[in-house]
Amino acid sequence: MSDTYIYSLISQSKKIAVLIDPEKCPSESDLQQLIERAEFAGVDFFFVGGSTVTRDEFNHCIEILTKHAKIPVVIFPGASHQVSEKADALLYLSLLSGRNPDFLIGHHVASAQEVFDMNIEIIPTAYILIDGGTTTSVAYVSQTTPIPPGKENIILNTVKAGILQGKKLVYLDAGSGAKESIPTNVIRSISALNRPLIIGGGIRNIETIREMHEAGANVVVIGNKIEEDIDFLLDIRTYQESSI
Ligand code: 1GP
């Protein structure tokens, strides 16, 4: 596998990722069932990570996922202990919307020795929180203020600064459980910067996924909705089939 294989998959259009929060990781049999259904639905990636996950929860979840899943497993880390060579790739996040040095460089230094020696695809990612109408765990834990969605220029300039720093990927996140997902006008203006774009937070229906893909999101991430209603994967299958 090339060291840019997952990046090239993420760069394609109309991809869907299912986010698994290891804190709520189901039993091995339930997780196996989720994997089978996600594969049947044509889900493109599993993202794994969370803001308040312990090392044991993370390792346990990665272990089971990588044992059973054919879909690539991508780490979406909430902190420096959420790294593993068993996954296919690591989104190397810098929380550029915030001014907390721990999430700009601190966790990176803490895990650098381990990550440097790992045989895993590392993807430098500009991670940007946008206010989704509620205080999310990621905003609280990182002690940062998300950018208001109406401040398009600030969002744009934050992404541009990330690109200038060499980030290969942009992840705009309203945060897990957001009331409002990222507006399509924001997605459209960021996708014009020609960097692969991941969008997540508060996405709960197929129409929103479709609008986001059409606005230029390469990958749309769904977490809570599938935790609450696993049958949503059937709607995703219908959508994936229709967009081939
Ligand atoms: C959050 O993008 C993810 O980082 C997913 O959010 O759980 O609201 O789908 P939801």
Token pair in block for residue 211 = 């609008």
Over the chain (244 residues), what is each successive 10-residue block's mean pLDDT?
Answer: 86 98 89 96 97 94 96 97 96 98 98 96 98 97 98 98 98 98 98 98 98 98 97 98 85
**Per-residue confidence (pLDDT) for residue 91, from 0 to 100:** 98
pTM for the predicted model, two decimal places: 0.97
Distance CA 27, CA 218 (A): 31
**Per-residue confidence (pLDDT) for residue 243, from 0 to 100:** 83
Q: How far is CA 108 from CA 6, 64, 105, in A?
A: 21, 26, 5
- Position in ligand 1 atom list of the atom nearest CA 227: 7
Q: Would you kindly state where each structural domain of the chain is located, as residue ranges?
A: 5-243
Token pair in block for residue 115 = 């990550």
Name the residue of 52, 187, 221 to mutate for ligand 1: max ligand atoms within 8 A of Cβ: 221
Our answer on whether the CB atom of 208 is closer than 6 Å to any ligand 1 atom is no
Are residues 158 and 128 in contact, defined by beta-carbon separation less than 8 angstroms?
A: yes
Total length of the chain = 244
Helix (H, G, I), strand (E, B) or coil at 233: helix
**Per-residue confidence (pLDDT) for residue 1, from 0 to 100:** 42
DSSP H or E segment with residue 186: helix 184-191
- What CATH class does 5-243 carry? alpha beta
Distance CA 47, CA 144 (A): 22
Residue whose CA is at the smallest distance from ligand 1 atom 1: 176
Helix (H, G, I), strand (E, B) or coil at 54: coil
**Per-residue confidence (pLDDT) for residue 26, from 0 to 100:** 81
Q: How far is CA 168 from CA 59, 109, 165, 208, in A?
A: 26, 20, 9, 25
Distance CA 189, CA 2 (A): 31
**Per-residue confidence (pLDDT) for residue 77, from 0 to 100:** 97
Q: Could you tell me the distance, in angstroms and rounded to a whole number, from the CA of residue 28 to the centre of ligand 1?
A: 22
**Per-residue confidence (pLDDT) for residue 116, from 0 to 100:** 95
**Per-residue confidence (pLDDT) for residue 3, from 0 to 100:** 84
